[in-house]
Amino acid sequence: MSECPHVAVMPRPEPAPAADTCPECLADGTHPVQLRLCLSCGHVGCCDSSAGRHATGHFHSTGHPVMRTFEPGEAWRWCFVDGSIV
Ligand SMILES: [Zn+2]
Ligand SMILES: [Zn+2]
Ligand SMILES: [Zn+2]
């Protein structure tokens, strides 16, 4: 059971994905390992196993707290503020 207050204030329905890959990796010429979707704005960024860690970078630049996996067959959310699956 999640204690995360941030999930409750995410837009419903969730924002449409802004891209189908990490645009910052595309610009940098790096390769995303896995993709994450920001549940505040639909930003798509790469995971912390990727060179750019752009999903985490997005949190640091915007403060958007919750993302979910953007990988087919996976279903989980991560809150950067709580530092846990939510
Ligand atoms: Zn939270
Ligand atoms: Zn990236
Ligand atoms: Zn965002």
Distance 82 CA to ligand 3 centre (A): 16
Distance 86 CA to ligand 2 centre (A): 23
Tens digit of each residue's pLDDT (9 = 90 or more) over 41-53: 999 999 999 999 9
Q: Where are the domains of the chain?
A: 5-85
| Ligand number nearest to the C-alpha of 45 | 2
- Separation in Å, CA 48 to CA 5, 16, 36, 51, 57: 23, 22, 10, 7, 10
CATH of domain 5-85: 3.30.40.10
What confidence tier does 3 reach under pLDDT thresholds 50, 70, 90? confident
| Ligand number nearest to the C-alpha of 33 | 2
Distance 18 CA to ligand 1 centre (A): 22
What pTM did the predictor assign? 0.94
Res. 1: pLDDT tops 90: no
Res. 2: pLDDT tops 90: no
- Stretch 27-34: mean pLDDT: 97
Q: Which residues contact 71 (CB under 8 A, 6 or more apart)?
A: 34, 35
